[in-house]
Chain A
Amino acid sequence: MKKVSLSRNLRAYSMVIVLVFIAVLFHFLTNGLIFTSMNLTNIILQNSYVVILILGMLPIILTGNIDLSVGSVLAFVGAIAAIMQVDYGCGVFVTLIVSLAVGVLIGAWQGFWITRFDIPAFIVTLSGELVFRGLTQVILDGASIGPFSSAFRAMASSFIPDLFGGSGLHITTMVLAVIACVAFVLTQLRGRRSKIANGVPVGSPTGMIVRCVLISLVILVLSYEMAAYQGYPTVLIIMVVLAFIYDFICSRTVFGRGLYAIGGNRKAAALSGVKDRLYLFMAFVNMGLMAAVAAIVYAARLNAATPKAGVNFELDAIAACFVGGASVTGGAGNIIGALVGCFVIGILNNGMSMMGISADWQQTVKGLVILAAVAFDLIPKRKKK
């Protein structure tokens, strides 16, 4: 019995093991350069938009669908934001609201065709990919537009202010890190108590303690590294907050459960009263919203909107979800796994760049690693049969 639960735990953590392995590997290959304070911050900034896109993509993949249009939608929303800011001099707030609204509308447009007429999402979003890339070229007239106002840029490039004004180490960051650790331990304890109160079986306390210590350690070490540079980037805070919200939505709400049920067996879900069309529609609206958020972060970081923005971003997001354990046919996967998958790919990209490997080879290696990671996850499951 104990053996079973151990192997199940191992499987749940298998991608974390891959992440740790890749991190350690590059630590040696780059002589420790990859985990310097500055580069760590860089890795987070470089992957911020993929993380945000995952929060839209995973719910869709859970339902057994796919969205191929997000890269183009990102470019389109970025272009609209740039035109508003640069050509019309709109304020940051108005630009944000309009950009997010455009994202939601695009999501609703695609969701409408998918849920109202049962056109496969693959087709609808393939069309979307072409349409919105084309529209981006049209409204940008083939050229880049920039720069954005400094307030707009701050969203992607600023760091949280140090309230304590310490020189050297960023104190606010360390305070937040400690708060995060305490919060993690407390939720673990509360969850355990609630499980015991409801007569739900719980694992050994040692397991929980080990988990708390490890996670706290990781949070503290990473935060210390960032505190030694400029503290937490604002984007990191946005990412973490959003990731928590979406993990909660997927794992703890009726809507989230509905997404899993639709992916697992849509007919059975519908006949059990799950509002399949509504939920699917909402998943696509959410994808539009997340594409818009990612567009803002991306445009602000680049300080320009370009016609080629976001090319292949949908593939990065999709790859992260599958590397993170999501099922291609739907019904299985989770946000945390997808984020781990995202950083597996992210560290790989960054590490290879630091080693000076050419972009062509990087792409080849990345492709093979994606295959290897998913095989590593799936082959043991297959043997069990």
Chain B
Amino acid sequence: MEENILEMRKITKEFPGVKALDQVSFQVRRGEIKGLVGENGAGKSTLMNVLSGIHPYGSYTGDIVVNGETCQFRGIEQSEKAGIAIIHQELALIPLLSIAENVFISNPQCRHGVIDWNLTRAKAIPLLARVGLKEDPDTPINQLGVGKQQLVEIAKALSKDCKLLILDEPTAALNEQDSRNLLDLLKTLQKDGITCIMISHKLNEICYVSNSITVLRDGRTVADYPDASKVTEDEIIRHMVGRELSNRYPRRENVQIGETFFEVKNWTVHHPEFPEKTVIHDVNLQLRKGEVVGLAGLMGAGRTEFSMSLFGKSYGCGITGEVYKGGKRIDTSTVPKAIDNGVAYLTEDRKTYGLVLMDSISQNISMSNLKRVSKRGVIDLDREIKETGENAKQFGVKCSSIFQSAGNLSGGNQQKTVLAKWMFNWPDVLILDEPTRGIDVGAKYDIYCIINQLAADGKCVLVISSELDELLGICDRIYIMNQGTIKGEKLRSEATQENIMKLLI
């Protein structure tokens, strides 16, 4: 048997106008977990799409050798037959179908051409046990959290008898506990002889789970570490961004924290479907001018529910409490009112809630404040283009022109567009929900710099993040939320991973 289960040799893939992959060579040893890292747009997903046949044979140059045989995949079915399964960042599950139905969706368990549901269920049970999912196979997918859905995807891959499992950003939407479970599952599967390629931005996870690591930048292989234990995160980052990033978080300099400017008092929110259930209990929170405040919490702690209920009652029912800005009580009961009162909320899911993907960057930026470029309801299109262009530039949105549609931007640039959109409205208070989710290290650094600049300009900034490390790196003060209540508050000087974690759980 060959030592390498997979060898990709001199793969070059061009899209109109760009060379996405340039002579990339990539080997995976049998039975290892391979970490594949790189910034957004480095070519990781393209490489995996070439491997799985989404970009069919003939659309690229170079050789793919699986188990010593040169392969020419023309579609996913062919690569699956060769034992390769890919799990994309956006999960391909059908929400209203059951776990068992989803697991066997592409290879239905038939007898005489008719689906045998008993066989389907019977076969699903051991697969679920193997991935450690303790759920009835008849449970519909939409009743599972993202972490469990991820496990269903893996069970689906295993049902096709896969030998090489590719996971694209599997933990992007998971909290720390679920992420850890998933990574441990990969290690267990490894013992069963399944080889795995994992793409991730979370370097700590890559270092935790991988045996070897390959770094891509601008469509080229820039570093290859056959032994992952001999490499540090900083070294990987240096290769990823191609420059020395001495610090992952920009220094907060000349911090001038003013008086309390924005205040939320006795905020209580009930569940939108079960009004008797309280989701947020009596939350009190103060933001000072020029201060970056963090809101830490595990998934489901109520951080997003809190901020969305605050922003125009976009979540929940039976909302009570008071909001003060500059000592005066303000009304944030509808989104337009909240915006008029200088509050901006940047959602955690920029594609679903933040951007109109088919519209241009310019139209997205002006959306929060069309009043600024219009008179009596009539938009001055030229002024709109000019002023949104200035904003896009100020926030470093990299694009060929501001007429480009937002859907074509990379994650980091989409997030900068959303920031530019909210700043188009000159808000005083910014609530940033997971502002760096799913974006690469370089873009993260840019976002942190923007946050610092906003604070320096005298805005109140509240940052919600699942990554404690990030909050500790950029915030002056951190609130800790657990089950809808504020469990504590720590200044930067006194906050540590440990004392926050204690309050989180």
Interface of A with B (CB < 8 Å)? 194-195, 197-201, 252-255, 257, 260-261, 264-265, 267-275, 331-332
Contacts and interface: CB of A to CB of B under 8 A. Distances in A.
Contacts of A198: 382-383, 385-386
B295 to A, nearest CB: 18
**Contact residue range for chain B?**
35 or more
B421 interface: yes
A200 B335 contact: no
A265 B355 contact: yes
Contact of A253 (B311, B314, B378): B378
Contact of B421 (A260, A272, A275): A272
Given A254-B377, A270-B335, A273-B368, A260 B383 contact: no
5 contacts: A253-B379, A270-B314, A272-B421, A273-B339, A273-B368
B359 A261 contact: yes
A331 B359 CA distance: 8
> Main SS of the interface on chain B?
helix
Contacts of B339: 272-273
B168 to A, nearest CB: 19
B371 A271 contact: no
Given A264-B356, A268-B355, A273-B338, 8 more contacts: A199-B386, A199-B389, A201-B401, A252-B381, A265-B357, A271-B314, A272-B421, A275-B336
B482 interface: no
B385 A200 contact: yes
B370 A254 contact: yes
Nearest to B403: A201
Interface in B378-421: 378-379, 381-383, 385-386, 389, 401, 421
Contacts of B378: 252-254
Closest 3 CB pairs of A and B: A264-B356, A198-B382, A273-B339
A137 B177 CA distance: 66
B246 interface: no
A74 B353 CA distance: 38
A264 B379 contact: no
> Main SS of the interface on chain A?
helix
Contacts of B369: 273
Interface of B: 311-312, 314, 335-336, 338-339, 345, 347, 352-359, 363, 366-371, 374, 377-379, 381-383, 385-386, 389, 401, 421
A270 B314 CA distance: 9
Nearest to B405: A264
A178 to B, nearest CB: 28
A194 B382 CA distance: 7
A260 B359 CA distance: 9
Q: Which of B335, B338, B355: most chain A Cβ within 10 A?
A: B335
Contacts of A331: 356, 358-359
Contacts of A200: 382, 385-386
A182 B98 CA distance: 65
Contacts of A201: 401
Contacts of B385: 198, 200
Contacts of A269: 356, 367
Nearest to A271: B353
B368 A267 contact: no
A272 B314 CA distance: 11
Contacts of A267: 352-353
A256 to B, nearest CB: 8
A274 B336 CA distance: 7
A149 B389 CA distance: 57
Q: Which of B357, B382, B389: most chain A Cβ within 10 A?
A: B382
Contacts of A255: 377
A252 B371 CA distance: 12
A323 to B, nearest CB: 20
Nearest to A195: B382
Contacts of A275: 336
Nearest to B374: A254
A268 B357 CA distance: 10
A125 B188 CA distance: 56
A268 B386 contact: no
A261 B367 contact: yes
A331 to B, nearest CB: 5
A305 B385 CA distance: 49
Nearest to B421: A272
Contacts of B347: 268, 271
Nearest to A267: B353
Contacts of A261: 356, 359, 363, 367
A382 B311 CA distance: 38
B377 A332 contact: no
A197 B382 contact: yes
A268 B353 contact: yes
A341 to B, nearest CB: 20
B371 A268 contact: no
B425 to A, nearest CB: 8
Nearest to A264: B356
A200 B402 CA distance: 11
Q: Which of B356, B371, B377, B385: most chain A Cβ within 10 A?
A: B356
Contacts of A264: 356-359
A268 B356 contact: yes
Contacts of A260: 356, 359, 363
Contacts of B367: 257, 261, 268-269, 272-274
A195 B385 CA distance: 9
Nearest to A266: B356
B114 to A, nearest CB: 34
A194 B381 CA distance: 10
A273 B336 contact: yes
Nearest to A191: B382
A354 B339 CA distance: 59
A197 B381 CA distance: 12
Nearest to B387: A198
Contacts of B312: 271
